[in-house]
Structure 1
Amino acid sequence: MGLLGLCLAPSTLVGLYASGHVGERVRSEATEHLLDVSAQIAGMLDVGMHERWRDMTLVASMINAQGSLDRADDLRDQFETLKRNVPIYAWIGAAETDGRVVASSQRLLEGADVSARPWFRAGTQAPFAGDLHEALLLARTLPPNPNGEPLRFVDIAMPLVRKDGVPLGVLGAHLSWSWANEVAGSVLGRSGGGKPDMDAFVLSREGVVLMGPQDLQGRKLELASVRAGVQGVAKSVQEVWPDGRTYFTAVSPTRGEGDYRGLGWVVLVRRDADATLADVSALQHRILFASLAAALAALMAGWVWAGRLSRPMQALAGAARRLSQGDLATPVPPTRAFAEATSLSASLVRLSMTLDAQRTPAATVEKPVSASREPAAP
């Protein structure tokens, strides 16, 4: 048991060191992966908003070139074409300077007064992107969400101005917030995520949950990761959430794209730490088991090889012992196990022959015959 422990101890220590190193590496890669996923989602949200911003800029440019909002049918056709090609548009419309909608997709809200809406007021001054909000006027006309959540939109508005600088009104659009969920879902799917213990969030510039689990929507998250994100810092940490559970969390701020300056959204991705650590623990156990198995296999191989080496030597040692006791008839076992054993066997054979020769008379000595005395003559 002492020899076994002596042989297994180094392998166990190496296995423990390797499993610990691998565990730390897996934790690091897990947080890096989350940070990469959050950055991808943030980038795709910026690109998507920039494309919609560009759409509205081009449409506004065409209306400004026409110089009036009188051709309502033509405007409506443009809006319908854009909405058909880009389904995330829930509504596109043009309102005159008094806030009356003169043309819109599907004729929704035509004739309605939108002068009190934030997007209209802001759009009379400059290009505008509005943060997420629930539908008010459109809630009565659009079909409800299949998942039962309230309709929520992001607004884009562009001022309409003639070439001579005379205001024409405002071009506005409501973007369905469902596209953000689709963006997050596509990134999680490509990244091997989409697991029950992996969630994606979109937070406002104040840290309020705009997209995420329903029980957290509308709540402000007071977390170190969120504070870093709203300050424009990408970060990954392990932290305890309000539900008392520990998560690996990564945040990436959106930064805008081109002339779209962004809305200060923060993308957060989290994964349950217990699930990640369970994977690490399983990997560590496999490494330790593999180290012990390799040590045992090496020990068994060494034991077999040692037996092959020791058996010829033991036989030769027995023969040498019997020769030393005077048993010259002892046969010396021949062996070709390895060079040293072969040489020792040959030496013992020569020693046996030498001892045998020394104990045998060199020559046979005949006993002398006495001369017979002849009788005296009478």
Structure 2
Amino acid sequence: MHHRSLRQQLTLLVSVLCLALMCILAAGAAYIAQSRIRQIVMHYAAQEAALTASILDRGMFERHREARNLAAMVPLKTVWSGSKAGIRQVLEQLQASYPDYAWIGYVTPDGIVQAATQGMLEGQSVRARPWFQDGLKGPAVGDVHEAQLLAKLLGPSPSGEPFRFVDVAAPVHDSAGQVAGVIGVHLSWTWADEAREAILGEQARAAGKSIWILAGDGTMLLGPGVGSRPFGDDIVAAMRQAKAGAFEDETGSEAMLTGFAVAEGYRDYSGLNWIVVSRQPDSIAFAAAKGIVWTILGLGCGIALAGLIFTLLIARRVTRPLRAIIEAANRIGRDPTISQVPRVSGSLEIVQLSSALRSLLRRAGAAEQQVIATSSQHEKDVTVLRHLAETDALSGLLNRRGFSLLADDAFALYKRYERPLAVLILDIDFFKAINDTYGHAAGDAVIRSVGEILTRTLRSSDKVARFGGEEFVVLVHEVDAGGIITVAQNLRRAVETLAIEHQEHSISVTVSIGGAMAHRGDADIQEVLERADAALYKAKAAGRNRVVVDGLQIQLATAVA
């Protein structure tokens, strides 16, 4: 963020904020919409199962009532005790009114079929069949089962699967109220399949929907894998306890929306606790919910993008006066025509910033002038102090400190580049006698005069300094052994020929000079000075007004004017 402009930061931060808010809003709306739609879809699936269960219960109620009414009709009491042909005629008329009755028979109390539609099973015993045993006790309904005695008589079903029936039975009483026989009805299970198909329809099948009918224990009665148990006992128990509802079945390869309802009967028909299951793949059932979610998310992204564009425009407008201030500030000091930031319009803070910067620049200008004046005076003061610190007050020459700075630098250059370097030490002969004879003021005049003549005689590259008293030191560059002797003799002669006027007196002086050349073995300039000082001692000892250079053997001590 430190490398981005304010406009970029504003755009980025507001865009992130817009995007985050829109994502939260879109995600929240999508979640609510998906939850509501899922609830609606699951509720519809449960209702579909409940509708199928209700149709099955009502159908079974009608069959149960028809069997019971048939057994209880007073006009038919004489028929049951009549001929076999008369009973068969009544039963066949009933079958004709409802084709899903696969078989209707009248059974005597001993379990022998006395008469039946199309004469099937007449004379055979059904004493062991549950429907007969229950029918002796009262109206009864038996659960779905495959045909046993009728299997060979009915032949194969249209689907090629074994016939299955739902049994309905009711006792027939005589005038004395005793059981005279049992009416047994085998209802073809195809009626349930037809009811299921009527509810589903082609459109529902195309959408992947299916309806199963399970027995109370979870065994498949109508659907894929008849006789199998598609759900575990815990799920079956939960469905029977809840009676109706919906859940997502994820036990298979694809998650399935599963609605269920338990068929609990209708009116006086107690029902067989069938479990009707409506199923549809989650991907299809919740496709509308997913579509709405993506629509909401897309709309949110579009709004966030629009917010980003508006933020960019707003940020550009907000930062435009800041850019003008920055550009003007950058040109101050570079462009002589620009000395102040412009007055800008915009937000209160930007106007205040412009005013504050203009005031700051005015104060800075005044402070700059003061700093320049102070700095100039400081440089002058430093120059004066440096001159005082490095200059001899009497002669105006360099003092020992000033000479040491120059000599150290010169020696460093000599060591690096091997450029010749020599040192001369001069001492005024019999200087004490001058002070004693003419006074200290005359001695000071002699020192000043000697310093001036040495300066005039030397090259500009050579430096002379007064070390104190009557002693002078000369730093000579770029000379060989012969050259240093020449320089020293020139200085000695210049002093010797000098006439110094002091009051009414004319004073003449001479100097003794010791010299030394810098060698590679010297550690520093002090070693050169020490050898030059030793040479000066020799010049003094040899009679003064002489030149002695360390290490040179050619008439070093005889060079006299």
TM-score by length of 2: 0.50
Aligned equivalent of 1:207: 218
Of 131, 137, 154, the residue aligned with 1:142 is: 154
How far apart, in 1, do the equivalents of 2:207 and 2:154 lie? 31
Amino acid in the other structure paired with 2:181: G
1:240-255 superposed matches below 5 A: 240-241=250-251, 243=252, 245-255=254-264
Q: Is it true that 1:176 corresponds to 2:185 in the alignment? A: no
Letter in 2 for 1:124: L
Residue matched to 1:89: 101
- Superposed displacement of residue 143, structure 1: 3.7
Q: Distance in 2 between matches of 1:10 and 1:78?
A: 77
Structure 1 residue 4: deviation in Å? 4.7
For 2:249 and 2:267, locate their aligned partners in 1 and report how far apart those are by CA, in whole Å. Answer: 34
- Asked if the contact 2:147/2:163 (under 8 Å) is kept, the reply is yes
2:64 to 53, 76, 90: 53
Q: How does 1:228-377 map to 2 (within 5 A)?
A: 228-231=238-241, 233-241=243-251, 243=252, 245-296=254-305
Give the aligned partner of residue 21 of structure 2.
10
1:84–1:148 Cα change, 3 Å = same
Q: Contact 1:239–1:248 (CA<8 Å) still a contact in 2?
A: yes
Paired position in structure 2 for 1:186: 198
Of residues 111, 131, 139, the one that matches 1:99 is: 111
Please, which moves more after superposition, 107-116 or 131-140? 107-116
**Closer, same or farther in 2 for the Cα pair 1:107/1:269, shift >3 Å?**
same
Corresponding residue of 2:363:
none
Q: Secondary structure at the match of 1:141?
A: helix
Paired with 2:312 and 2:218, the residues of 1 have a C-alpha distance of: 65
Deviation at 1:75, TM superposition (A): 2.6
Q: Which of the two has higher C-alpha Rg? A: 2
| 1:373 match | none
Counterpart residue number, 2:541: none
Range with greater deviation from structure 2 (108-117 or 203-212): 108-117
Classify 1:148/1:297 alpha carbon distance in 2 versus 1 (closer, same or farther; 3 Å). farther
Aligned to 2:90: 78
CA contact (8 A) 2:79 2:86 kept: no
* Partner of residue 23 from structure 1, selected from 34, 59, 64: 34
How much does 1:245 deviate?
4.0
How big is the shift at 1:268?
A: 1.8
Q: Could you say what secondary structure the match of 1:210 adopts?
A: strand
Task: Tell whether the 8 Å contact from 1:46 to 1:255 is kept in structure 2 after alignment.
Answer: yes
Residue 48 of structure 2: aligned partner: 37
Cα deviations by residue, 1:241-265 (Å, 9 ceiling, x for unpaired): 3x35432222211111122111121
| 2:68–2:169 Cα contact (<8 Å) kept | no
Compute the displacement of 1:275 (Å). Answer: 3.5
Separation of aligned partners in 2, 1:294 and 1:145? 63
Deviations 1:209-240 (A, max 9, x none): 111212x5333631544212334632322233
Q: Distance in 2 between matches of 1:67 and 1:80?
A: 13
Cα 1:221–1:295 change in 2 (3 A) is closer
Q: Secondary structure at the match of 2:144?
A: strand
Ranked by relative contact order (alpha carbons within 8 Å, sequence separation 6 or more), the top structure is: 1
Match among 156, 164, 174 for residue 168 of structure 2: 156
SS in 1 for 2:94: helix
1:198 aligned partner: 209
Do the aligned partners of 1:225 and 1:249 also contact (CA within 8 Å) in 2? no
**Number of residues paired by the alignment?**
307
* 1:194 partner SS: helix
More deviation in 99-108 or 47-56?
Answer: 99-108
Identical positions, percent: 34
- The AA in structure 1 aligned to 2:273 is G
C-alpha distance after superposition, 1:132-169 (max 9, x if no partner): 10001111111422222211000001111102023221
CA-based RMSD: 3.0
Q: Is the Cα–Cα contact under 8 Å of residues 69 and 102 in structure 1 kept in the other structure?
A: no
Identify which of 42, 55, 73 aligns with 1:62: 73
Counterpart of 1:221 in structure 2 is 231
Unaligned runs of 5+ in 1: 315-378
State the secondary structure of the residue aligned to 1:200: strand
Contact (CA 8 Å) 1:46, 1:257: kept in 2 or not? yes
Counterpart-to-counterpart distance in 1, 2:131 and 2:230:
24
**CA 1:292/1:244 → structure 2, altered by over 3 Å: closer, same or farther?**
closer
Deviation at 1:278, TM superposition (A): 4.9
On the 8 A contact 2:101/2:188 being kept in 1, the answer is yes
CA-CA distance at 1:41 after TM superposition: 0.9
Question: What is the CA distance between 1:296 and its match in structure 2?
Answer: 4.2
Q: Would the aligned equivalents of 1:80 and 1:105 in 2 still touch at CA under 8 Å?
A: yes
Secondary structure of the structure 2 residue equivalent to 1:236: strand
Gaps of at least 5 residues in structure 2 are: 1-10, 322-561
Instruction: Say whether the 8 Å CA contact 1:240–1:246 is kept in structure 2.
Output: yes
Deviations 1:318-376 (A, max 9, x none): xxxxxxxxxxxxxxxxxxxxxxxxxxxxxxxxxxxxxxxxxxxxxxxxxxxxxxxxxxx
Displacement of 1:17: 1.7
Q: Could you say if the C-alpha distance between residues 162 and 220 of structure 1 is closer, same or farther in structure 2, counting changes exceeding 3 Å?
A: farther
Structure-1-length-normalised TM-score: 0.72
Shift of 1:303: 8.6
- How far apart in 2 are the matches of 1:18 and 1:237? 23
Contact 1:225 1:235 in 2 (8 A): no
SS in 2 for 1:288: helix
Q: Give the match for residue 117 of structure 1.
A: 129
C-alpha distance in structure 2 between counterparts of 1:39 and 1:128, whole Å = 24
Distance 1:87 1:98 in 2: 28
- Partners of 1:240 and 1:5 in 2: how far apart? 38
Quote the offset at 1:23 in angstroms: 1.5
Quote the offset at 1:281 in angstroms.
2.9
